[in-house]
Structure formats: structure tokens, C-alpha cells
Structure 1
Amino acid sequence: MNLKFLFASGKNAKLPYYIRNYAKVILPKYVFQSRLSKKLESIKSRPDANYITSRVEYYNKLHTAQELPESSQRFGELKKSKKVKSVYFLDAYRVISWFKGSFKWNYVPGDVTYIPEIPSIVKSRPISGDNSNSVLLKLDEVRHFIFIRDRLKFNEKLDRIIFRGKVDNKPHRIAFMEKYFHHPMCDLGNITKKKTLPPEWTVEKCTLYHHLQYKFVLALEGNDVASNLKWIMSSNSIAVMPTPKFETWFMEGKLIANHHYIQIKDDYSDLEERLNYYIENQEEANQIIRNANKYVSQFFDKEREHLIGLAVMNKYLEKTDQK
């Protein structure tokens, strides 16, 4: 299974990602910067201009100008480091390389579950409250934005729910395992080897394609969002989860319960009831799958995704009084 997972896991291959993006780092920045104005101006004449604008406004909710501290990092100072790992360096560079290196920003890489005190570029943010200082960019894309082709129809799948993930140090995941590990409708497993957890919970990793044998896939938030949610929603299985508390570029805050995913209570007490309902009402289940597939399709246009990222950053500079 380890070899199968290594070569056919269903996840994005990292080597092509690194080659493609490090190649852009080598290019002189004027190659990008000389085209920026024209690229941003092109949004106005696009047939999807209103859609692009709505996405930009969702990611960047800054309304009034706020100056950044003079000590803020400059674009040109971005470097890979222990804090700024390769994927966070490359995904940010793909956007900021289109702008002058003298512009300032507050860049907070990693799993961000709080709202910064000043306007900041983040991968994730809380959905509730005033999160306007948390400006979303598409970061850690190679890990999070996975979409999958599913050849099995919903009615051909097992009447069970599957979960494979890191359970350690995540109380909400531990609570789910304690409640349902031995339940006949559940196939659950922890993929880390933590001695503090029951040893019977520990299993080998399995491929994403193995998950597709099941009608339902559990999407429990980890440090921030549930990283498996994107590929589940691109499949013919259904994501099962409580109402999400955090969001990324995927706009988890826009998802509608029992329209894009099956909602369960925060204490998971209605899991069996919810699964049985959709096993017995398969047309409703198929409608959720169609809705989810349609939702993920908006992220397939890579050129448009990049254009939205540039517009988000351009607004960030405007609202931090730099343009």
C-alpha cells in the first residue's frame, strides 16, 4: 500500500509544481510587471467581469485605507525560510512578482485561525466575525487544490463513511474517533503513530481512489480547514461535516449545508441518522453531488484564478495606501 500511495495516491505531484514555479523565480520580474496594468485592465471587458469582482471583494474585504507600519516587510524581501516554506514562498511569489519590490505587506504563512491586527495576506481565516484584515490568497495550492475524476456512481458505492487523517492534537477529531471508531457504518483511521492515541486507531495511508468506494467521506477541519473537502466535492461521493469555522481561497464560508455537503451537528450525534437519510433518498444525494461538482468547477480556469489573485493584491495595495 505504501508504494501504491507513493505513485498513485491521487494527490498533486509536487515535482512538476516545483519545476514550473521555480522557473518563474528565475525570470526577470519586469517580464511580469510590464504587463500588470494591461492584465488588470482586461477584467473590465471580460464577460465574467462581475464574477471576478465578486470573488475579489470576497477575498479582500478591506474598505477604508489603513497604512501599514514602516517596519513591514517589502515584497522584494520575500525569501524561503523555516517560517516561509517552499509552497508559501512560491505561491506568494507567483502574485507579488507582478508588483514593485518596494511595496509593503504583512504576510502570515501557515494555518491561520485568528484575525491579524493589521491588514495581512493569509491562506486561511475564521469565517465568523469581522475578518476584513485577513486577505486571502491561494496559498499551499499543491496540497489543498486537488480535484479528482470519479468513475463510480453514487449508487455503486458502499453505504459507509470513510476517514483517513491526522488525529493527534486535534480534540474534535479525537472526539469523533472515540464516538464512532467501532461503528459498522464507519471506516476510520489515524495515519500518524502517536503513542498517546489508541493503537487500534492507527492505519496505513490509503489513496484518494480508495476513498471513492464509499458513498460518504468525512471532512473534519484540521488545524484550520478540511484539506480533503475540495477533492471530495469534485467526486461522486459526498462530504459529511459540521458547519465549517474556517475558510481559504475555496470560500468555505459560501458553502450551503445539505446543498453542497451533508451537515452534521457539532457533537456528531446525528451522523447515523443523516447517512441513512441519504442512503434512502438517493436522488437528493445525487443533487448534492451535482451542486458540489458545479461549485468546484469555478476553480478550474487557471488563468482566471491567477487574474483574481493579482486583483486581490492590487486592492490590498490600494487599501493600505500604497497606490
Structure 2
Amino acid sequence: MSKIQSQQNIDTSQWIDPDERVEYYLNHQKSIELNLQQLLKLKERDYWTKKEVNLIAYKQFEKTLTRWYCQLLMPLPFLRDIRALPFIKNYRDLHSLVDFFRPFYGQNLEIADFKFPLFYGEHGDTEGLPIIRKTRTPEDKSSVLYNLRSFRFNLPCKTVQNTDIEWEHKNNNVIWRGATTGAALREAFVKKYFQHYNIGFSSVKQKPELARFKKPPITIADQLKSKFIVSLEGNDIASNLRWVLSSNSVPIMTKPRWRSWIMEEHLVANIHYLELNDDLSNLEDLLTWASNNDQECKQIALNGRHFVHQFLDDSLDVRIRRNVLQEYASRAKYV
């Protein structure tokens, strides 16, 4: 049992079978065909795909400064959380390579020479190619999921472990902070509830006209004082979902559209979270129900914690990453 599990008394009985997870990440593809010409054409499509689509093998980095930097320096607290990194100019490149390299450390794997197609980006279209990436939509039947940029999503879960408080000590409020990224969901939600609840944008990265809906940033520790924390998808997945699920608070969100390493489609409304309607109209109804069903809400928070910790177990995570890459290599054919 991992340290995380023992500290939280996590029930593993409902964890998803590791082999089932591997097949899920591989998109249930028994054979994988990658057209190299199509891949090269995709890479030259525009500025971003040129930077974010790559064909790489661990062997080409094994004895390089990049591999050493990723293994020994990037995990250090003073480096892993910053975006302007010394030595390498692209933040997402390095944070993706950290995760790609992890299954190879201390292992003499046959797949070290295999070239894997990786997409470092978030929501870009990879044109039906079986590229390894961090998210996909239900319509995407070819992309393969991998736990990329895990520092961004997993490290806040450790903050939660150190700062969270018991359900009974939380207030009955709802809270949300986030950036102006993504489609219309966040904009519509904030405009609807800005005046009535502690809901607002903490930063304006896109759509500068939304600056009037800003509210002061709030630390994770302060957000955890509320029983209900909203989670909203942005460019792809909701960046706060892992840490909210790992807390003693209840996520409030629409049914997830994007899928990632934590297999969001396995989350069940009223079991792991409270579900917002697609038109976002029912927040008040949810909070009214919650005020009359406090113990049910406490159980929902507990269920979410049990669920998400299967993706925070370090030894299991590395083993499944390795299996995904080995299965990809064994099933892949380049044409």
C-alpha cells in the first residue's frame, strides 16, 4: 500500500483493473498503423504543431543533458513549478519529456530504441493519427492517452493532503477560480454566477474583455475551506479536477467531455460529483439539495477521493505507463 493510500485510508476495491486501463489508454486498438508521411505533413501544418508534434525514442536522450535534467533536477521543488525554465526554452516540451522518460529509469527496456509519436499540446487536432497525447474527446478513436505534464495536475494533490480540513469544518459555500481559457463554458458560467457566488476569473489569458469578471486569486488551501468547488473544462480537461477529487470537498461540474489519464468518463454523477446541466442553470438547485443532504455530500467527496487515488499511486502509475508504451510498440506498424 502506498504512502498516499495509507494516509487517506483509501479503499482500492473499486479501482479499475490495470490491464483494462492499458486498453483504455490505447483506445482499444489491437493494431496501430502510423503513416510517417502524414505525420511529417501534420508537423509542418502550423507553428504550434511544428513545436508540439515529435517522434522520439528514449535511447536518443539516454546519455544527454536533457535526460539528466529531467530525472534529477526537474523533480526539485524550486524548478518543477516554474514556467520559465533554465536550459530548455519550451516549458511544455520538458514537462512532457519528464513523464515520457519515467518508465525507462533503471530499466533495460527493448522499447528504448522505439520512436514514439508524442504531442505535447493540449487541444490541437492531430488528424486521426495514433499519436500519444494527454487528452482526447469521445470522437477520437485513434489517439493514445499518456500521463503527460503530471507535475501540473498531480502536485496540487499533495498540497491538498497537507492543507485540507475535515468536511465538518468546511463552510457551505461554493467557489471557483480559473483562467479565461477554452470554449464558451467558463465564460457563460462566470457571467451567470459572478454576482451571486464566490465565482470569478483569477487571470485573463484569453478574451481580455472578460477582465471585468476577475476576482482576487485564492490559494488551494483557502478554496478547501468550502464544501463545494466547481471544476470547469478549459482548453481541454479541467486542470483542478484531480486535486478537487482528492480533497474532502465535492466537485461541481458538467459531465466531462475530455478524457485523460484519470479516465473522466468513469466518474458518475451523484457518486463522485454533483452535475451541472449543460446550460449551467441548476447550480442553485444543487446547493439547495446539498444543504438538505449533508452526509450524502460527504460520501460523494469520499468516493471521489477513493477513485482518484488509483492515479496517484506512484509505483502503479509507472508500471502502467511502461505497459502502455510496450503495448504501443508491439502493436504499431509504420507505413
**TM-score tier after normalising by the smaller chain length:** 0.7 to 0.9
Distance in 2, matches of 1:243 and 1:69, equals: 34
Spell out, residue by residue over 1:62-117, the C-alpha distance to the aligned partner (whole angstroms, 9 max, x if none): 43423323456241557766485210122112246745454232211121364642
Distance in 2, matches of 1:142 and 1:215, equals: 25
- Name 1:179's counterpart in structure 2: 192
1:320 to 1:297, Cα distance in 2 relative to 1, 3 A: same
- Name 2:236's counterpart in structure 1: 224
Give secondary structure in 2 for the equivalent of 1:165: strand
Spell out, residue by residue over 1:135-162, the C-alpha distance to the aligned partner (whole angstroms, 9 max, x if none): 1111100001231125433333222211
Deviation (angstroms), 1:197: 3.0
- Name 2:23's counterpart in structure 1: 57
**TM-score normalised by structure 2 residue count:** 0.73
Specify every segment of 5 or more residues in structure 1 that has no aligned partner in the other structure, as ranges: 1-47
Distance in 2, matches of 1:213 and 1:50, equals: 30
Which of 172, 177, 193 matches 1:159? 172
Which of 33, 57, 69 matches 2:35? 69
Q: Output aligned runs, 1:197-276, within 5 Å.
A: 197-276=209-288
Structure 1 contact 60–132 (Cα < 8 Å) conserved: no
Deviation (angstroms), 1:189: 2.3
Give secondary structure in 2 for the equivalent of 1:67: strand
1:57 to 1:219, Cα distance in 2 relative to 1, 3 A: same
**Identity level (%):** 30
- Name 1:120's counterpart in structure 2: 131
Specify every segment of 5 or more residues in structure 2 that has no aligned partner in the other structure, as ranges: 1-13, 40-54, 67-87
Distance in 1, matches of 2:134 and 2:285, equals: 34
Structure 2 contact 182–236 (Cα < 8 Å) conserved: no
**TM-score normalised by structure 1 residue count:** 0.76
- Name 2:97's counterpart in structure 1: 89
Which of 106, 114, 120 matches 2:117? 106
Spell out, residue by residue over 1:236-294, the C-alpha distance to the aligned partner (whole angstroms, 9 max, x if none): 11100000000111111111111101001011101100111011101110110121111
1:176 to 1:104, Cα distance in 2 relative to 1, 3 A: same
Aligned residue pairs: how many?
271
Which of 293, 296, 311 matches 2:305? 293
- Name 1:21's counterpart in structure 2: none
Deviation (angstroms), 1:177: 1.1
Distance in 2, matches of 1:81 and 1:314, equals: 30
1:203 to 1:252, Cα distance in 2 relative to 1, 3 A: same
Give secondary structure in 2 for the equivalent of 1:56: helix
- Name 1:142's counterpart in structure 2: 151
CA RMSD of aligned residues (A): 2.7
Distance in 2, matches of 1:55 and 1:224, equals: 20
Distance in 1, matches of 2:119 and 2:243, equals: 25
